[in-house]
Amino acid sequence: MPESPRWLFIHGRADEAERIVGGIEDDIREETGEELEEPQDTMKVRQRESIPFPEIAKVAFTMYPKRAILGLALFVGQAFIYNGITFDLGTLFGTLYGVASGTVPLFIIIWALGNFAGPVTLGRLFDTVGREPMIFGTYLSSALVAVVLAGVLAYGIGGAWLFLGILVVCFFLASSGASAAYLTVSEIFPMETRALAIAFFYAVGTGVGEITGPLLFGKLIGSGNEGNVAIGFLIAAAVMAVGGIVEIFYGVKAEQAKLEDIAMPLTTADESDA
């Protein structure tokens, strides 16, 4: 993968950026046999070799506070439900359903396949249907299915295979939304902050969700009481629902849009600088 031409140009490596873009354009001409239209839009950029961390942080969290809240809500939600349930999944099947330790890996493999199928099946819809409806839909839908799981546990409905089937549906949806969380924070802030944004929201989100989720579910499952574990699923549903609701109010329509239209680069030069 070549380096981003945008990043190269911003950091004063215009010749390298031009070579990469030129190579891509030549490949397209060769594959299609058609000439490409010349770009019409222009932008003045003040090239800098490096951008100080304080400036990046200031822009990301003072100029875009709603987007910062959105990133935190999405990451905390997906980290809580994912890590809370994943880390304790084997114990859950063994403790509550009496699944033999040699069979538990089979259950986890089936669950993992559902995780994989979600983004593969639904991923393209985040570009066609749109970011906001798909993130909202996957977060809220997975929350609703988690409520169903809580009911199955609380009322002792069915056995391990029924629980697994519903769990697969839950994470089929949750995995798609979780993948979109990474996509979201990488594109809604100025391009100079994209790597920092992913690192920051991942660290905070997993720091909150990855710690509290497994601790909570571990204690609830350890009690051996299905009703207690059901409470854990209800909490996970609530956290995911919050992420979906925040998406409604603070979501950004970034599909089919240029990065510069979503968030202007920090290095964009003022007219007075021209």
pLDDT at 231 over 90: yes
pLDDT at 272 over 70: no
Residue 230 sits at the vertex; the CA angle it makes with 225 and 231, to the nearest 5 degrees, is 105
pLDDT at 51 over 80: no
- Please report the pLDDT score of residue 78 as a whole number: 92
- Please report the pLDDT score of residue 270 as a whole number: 47
pLDDT at 273 over 70: no
**Cβ density class 169-186: b for 16+ within 10 Å, e for less:** bbbbbbbbbbbbbbbbbb
Q: pTM to 2 decimals?
A: 0.85
DSSP3 helix / strand / coil % (the chain, rounded to 5):
75, 0, 25
How do residues 61-113 score in pLDDT, each as one tens digit?
Answer: 888 999 999 999 999 999 999 888 888 899 999 999 999 999 999 999 999 99
Domain definitions of the chain by residue range:
1-42, 53-250
How do residues 189-210 score in pLDDT, each as one tens digit?
Answer: 887 777 778 888 888 887 888 7
CATH number of 53-250: 1.20.1250.20
Arithmetic mean of pLDDT over the chain: 89
Helix axes 65-86, 160-187, angle to 10 degrees: 150
- Please report the pLDDT score of residue 19 as a whole number: 94
Alpha helices by DSSP H, 123-225: 125-128, 131-154, 160-187, 194-222
pLDDT at 121 over 90: yes
Helix axes 160-187, 131-154, angle to 10 degrees: 150
- Please report the pLDDT score of residue 265 as a whole number: 81
- Please report the pLDDT score of residue 271 as a whole number: 43
pLDDT at 25 over 50: yes
Distance CA(191)–CA(259), nearest Å, equals 7
